[in-house]
Amino acid sequence: MTDPASAPRRVAVIGLGVMGGPIARHLGHAGHSLTLYNRTPKRIAHWREANPDIEVREANNAADAADGADVVITCVGNDDDLAEVVLGPQGVFTTLHAGGLFIDHTTVSARIARQIGVEARDKEIRCVDAPMTGAQAGAEAGTLTLMCGGRADAVAAATPVMSAYARRIVHIGKAGTGQATKMVNQLALAGVTAALAEAFRLAQAEHLDLDKVYEAISGGAAQSWQMDNRWHTMAQERFDFGFAIDWMRKDLGLALDEGRGLGLSFPVAALIDQLYADIQAMGGGRQDTSAILRRLPKRGVR
């Protein structure tokens, strides 16, 4: 007997970028009926070309995408983009029925997540803010981690759908707490990445065997995902992996703003943000965050 919680749904996906595109593919392969909308239509054309085995309906706007859907998933750019596609005159909430499920995977402010949560409650829509970690590779592999804010019943309803593309799903608390947790994650990630780059430059300046240094330090307290996945690519000066500096600066801006609103200051994150701004000025905005290495001098390096 089919579990109703895992039964195929009518799912609309809004936003087919580097994260939303793979999410839609996983949902299609899981047997859900898909409707797609992207403000740039050519992205849907490219998605169709890459996924000819998945039948989809293409919507004219966000309201059209949500009309008749059981679940709507958004993965767009920023607060303004999200407000437009959800709360605008042609937004999701104009047509998504009472009892429908709305899941947002955009990294945005906790403020807009809370606002959407209130609007959803008033319309009797179940709502989850669920920013992601795992980067593009995690989206492609279907192994994302999701940090969820919203009511327990909404997260419970969303979990079978999100399991098509996520390996870890954690309910943090009420609306907006998923976004706040993503800020915590990005502050921690920025600090680890910057410290790793400084350690790497010291190893180079001392003319150490970088492979042996990695072997020595990667098994102890200094070990991190960044070290395991970026030490060797930094040695090759390759920075075309994972999370782009442009996106990290957006996320750090959200965290710094949230901190100011709470009377907190994050001097380390503010400095790292400035270093990333320098790399953007060097034309490296689309490089991954380990490119912070480019901002550190190579003194002593042969």
Asked if residues 12 and 69 have their Cβ atoms less than 8 Å apart, the reply is yes
Q: Which of 174, 190, 261 is nearest to 224 (CA)?
A: 190
- Residue 293 DSSP symbol: G
Calpha distance 35→12 (Å, rounded): 5
Does residue 182 carry a catalytic annotation? yes
Look-up: residue for tokens 């020595």?
A: 216
Q: Which residues pair with 171 in a beta bridge?
A: 148
Q: Which of 182, 212, 250, 298 is catalytic?
A: 182
Number of alpha carbons in the 13 Å side-chain half-sphere of residue 155? 21
Amino acid at 206: E
Q: Which residues pair with 73 in a beta bridge?
A: 13, 103
Active site residues: 182
